[in-house]
Chains A and B, each alone.
Chain A
Amino acid sequence: MASPSYDQAEPGTELPPRQYQVTRRDLVRYAGASGDFNVIHWNERVAKSVGLPDVIAHGMLTMALAGRFVTEWAGDPGAVTEFGVRFSAPVVVPDDDKGATVEVTGTVTERLDGHRVAVDVTARSDGAKVLTRARAVVRLPAVPSQGGDPLEPP
């Protein structure tokens, strides 16, 4: 997928929607990579004892998936200059092979200076909005990049 140029990203442009699966294995991997070993992200007994329905994903993993959604569109993980979210509901991750599904959508809302655009992002899981007020500011190339570059996901 070629990345969009600043001129192409008019307000109202929708980013290609994505669905990400999050399994218990992903939570363990994120815990190790981030250093966040909070027990509610891997231990069902403790999660339930503090009133949660089951093990929940790290909010920062959900935010990272929303970030990946934007950087995949922009074609450059370094293009995001601002990124903020509010965590509105937990992503509940059952102990099975499928895990939870996080559905992410986004819309360009504004063009800013410096070839930057603002993107509003939504993330839902199991019918609930898991992120609200999620907004990224992304710098885009002045001209469209060509497909087949090293940014193309395998």
Chain B
Amino acid sequence: MAINPDYIGRTFEPSEPYEVSRVKIAEFADAVGEPSALCRDRAAAQAAGYPDVIAPPTFVIVISMASTAKLTTDPALGVNYAMVVHGEQSFTHARPLHAGDVVTSQSTIESIRPLGSMTTMTTVTEIRTVDGEHVCTARSTLVERGA
């Protein structure tokens, strides 16, 4: 079943607030091998001008993926997850996320397009603090291979 094109342009409800923690940042930095003290040592991060330890640039996926996963499992959208691969990903950061940030993510389906026997779907997820400050825009393209 192809992905339902009626969903193009649809914006979903923002997620529940997510609190960025020092422990999660350090765990993610360890998992990707990011060696910087700025991800682990609060004093070093503050000496570099940040309020607290900062997240590596792809950390946002932890937050944005949970948001897009919720919408792409909507049965009416018709995504066949067994056939999905990640096609493209980008992040535009207004500033790095830091420990203590409390953010929500809100996703919009930007496009659904046929590509030969495949279908691509691009979602744009806006990450904002609960005070409304825009922190990051994540754009993700999933590719559903033809059956």
Contact = CB atoms under 8 A, between A and B. Distances in A.
Interface of A: 20, 26, 29-30, 32-36, 50, 59-61, 63-65, 67-68, 71-72, 75-78, 80-87, 133, 136, 150-151, 153-154
A87 B87 contact: yes
Interface stretch (B2-10, B54-62, B107-115, B121-129): B54-62
Interface in B50-91: 50, 54-58, 61-62, 65-66, 82-83, 85-91
Nearest to A60: B61
Given A67-B58, A78-B38, 17 more contacts: A26-B31, A33-B28, A34-B28, A34-B31, A59-B89, A64-B32, A67-B56, A67-B57, A76-B48, A77-B56, A80-B57, A81-B92, A82-B93, A84-B88, A87-B89, A150-B37, A150-B47
Interface in B1-57: 24, 27-39, 41, 44, 47-48, 50, 54-57
A119 B87 CA distance: 21
Q: Provide the main secondary structure of the chain A interface.
A: mixed
A77 B86 contact: no
B143 to A, nearest CB: 9
A39 to B, nearest CB: 10
Interface residues of B, number: 42
A34 B62 contact: yes
Q: Provide the main secondary structure of the chain B interface.
A: mixed
A85 B90 contact: yes
B135 to A, nearest CB: 12
Contacts of B31: 26, 29-30, 32-34, 61, 64
9 contacts: A60-B61, A77-B38, A81-B93, A82-B90, A83-B91, A84-B89, A87-B85, A150-B47, A154-B35
Given A34-B62, A80-B57, A67 B32 contact: yes
A77 B39 contact: yes
Given A29-B30, A77-B57, A84 B90 contact: yes
Given A60-B58, A150-B44, A71 B87 contact: no
Given A33-B28, A80-B57, A83-B58, A60 B86 contact: yes
Contacts of B56: 64, 67-68, 71, 77
A65 B33 CA distance: 8
Contacts of A59: 85-86, 89
A82 B61 CA distance: 14
